[in-house]
Structure 1
């Protein structure tokens, strides 16, 4: 496998202030929120040094070009490739994201999707439970045993 040369560049599309944190996250392959937490913590603990280093990085680092972005795998197409289609036991097809945070969704949106899925499953489970505990189920079960 040929390993490509990584370059440290600013990613203004994913960045909030200049794209320095996003560029660092791309370079090391880390989650963007981790880099932001490190940057904010460094800003709190060593304000002047961190601020000067950030401004220097902002001025010195080149912007990430579209060509470099496509080569690094951070394009929208690469985000779509993080999903695969699977069939459930009841025959439905669903898209499964291999890693939600790499698929481009913010954590609170991903959590909302998960909560919705659990709500649907809970409704289905309640329906099954009410049927199994009903007298109709017992009667049908006894008739089937005959």
Structure 2
């Protein structure tokens, strides 16, 4: 993985947390989002708290200038 940093992605639906995790591990963004939603429902919505915490502690990825 080298010098990769876990950051919130610019490819976001809400805050970019799931997309940032998918980018870091080179996973498909859609699958990460689906797994997150399923885990949230099956863990009595504790995934919402985890998402908010990650939103607060993960730094935002630098925006690319095009």
TM-score, scaled to structure 2:
0.86
User: Alpha carbon RMSD of aligned pairs, Å?
Assistant: 1.8
Count of matched residue pairs: 65
TM-score by length of 1: 0.41
Query: Partners in 1 of 2:45 and 2:4 — Cα distance?
Result: 29
Structure 2 unaligned spans of 5+: none
> Structure 1 stretches of 5 or more lacking a match?
68-75, 77-146
Give the deviation of 1:17 after TM superposition. 1.0
CA displacement, residues 35-89 of structure 1 (integer Å, 9 cap, x when unaligned): 001111011101332111000000110000136xxxxxxxx8xxxxxxxxxxxxx
Q: Of the two structures, which has the highest relative contact order with CA contacts closer than 8 Å and spacing of 6 or more?
A: 2
**More strand as a share of residues:** 1
The structure in which a higher percent of residues are helix is: 1
